[in-house]
Structure 1
Amino acid sequence: MPLPSRDEAMALLHEWVQDPRLLKHLYGVEACMRAYARKYGGDEDLWGLTGLLHDLDYERYPTLEVHPRKAAEVLREKGYPDELVYAVLAHANYLQDQYPRRSLMDKALYACDELSNFVIAVALVRPNRSIHEVDVQAVRKKMKDKRFAAGVNREDVIGGAAELGLDLDEHIAFVIEALKPVAEQLGIAGTGSAVPAEAAE
């Protein structure tokens, strides 16, 4: 079967997800996955839809017992390819015994999941709420503050870069750039004239 279109994926997404914060997270991961697909020569639509749909069930079933198994079940029923369904299952660390991350797409999804959320959080506390005020140093500084975006697992951020074979700073810089084209959609385009990140420290 051909890969469902993004419009079809969006219709499914909005059937399952209403929380604006979760939607922004999914749009952010999609953007990062598309960027990594271009970097690694992957199928941009396949990688993008994997990012867009990986937490499809989280709003309804945010428990370890169900998430992301329910998402995988729904996606399989809807005719999404096996590699997309597998990556959705493999992004959960607690399912690594059953679904170890094998492909670059699996590893990229894991690597982008927590970090994209963290970068968005950093952008939202900059003076103009702008991704254009965020650099690697700003992200690193906030990672040391355990109270900031406390729900983001720092070990997953570090481990994600390592699984891709990337230096953490390189990975952070890549994610920052990947999020810029969708900044408006994510609410991090800025409220005024952007200032350089170093000046916003």
Structure 2
Amino acid sequence: MRSLLVMFLSYFGIGAALTIANESLNQDEPVGDTRLSNSHVEKVNASPLSNNSPEGFLLLLNLFHPLRDAVREIEPLYMTPFGISSACQYATEFQLIGDQLHAGKHIVSTEPGIQSQPLLGGSSNGTISGGFFQDGDELQWFSSDFASPTALFCLSSSNVVFAVFDTSRLSNECVRIRLELVPPILEVSRGMY
């Protein structure tokens, strides 16, 4: 079993660079597009995620605020099967396959006419399961069947992420957030977002 000592994420323009230090590997082992061996350190260029590839990713919560870049969050928060967590190892791994969002073995979906629902744990057999796409580093959900064409995401007082399909009904008790896509191999350190 490999033990990763250091994972740092540094942003360089559009892409990202990841430095991995590895200890106690018994043999060369492929990790993404690289190979790691005992005491070997490499830099890996991480490419942006695409709707056409089933690469896994985590969803990082970010408060939606025009000055969000000027405000530093205390710690990153990730979506989990039961709400949110600051520990990325408990985060749900998602896949964007075509325009469908897969959370583990489930496809995220909803039904027409619903005003809002938890993003995870909502209808798993809903008739609206497409319309997800990546806009920069942000997850979006679009459907002409929504009351508002693009869903908003918010965090409830009980720490559950909701998809809001009728934006005129966004509750004051649900704080609007952005859902940012982060590859799961990256451990995001404090203050990176």
Q: TM-score, normalised by structure 2?
A: 0.28
Normalized per residue, which structure has more strand? 2
- Which has the higher Rg, Structure 1 or Structure 2? 2
Structure with more helix by fraction: 1
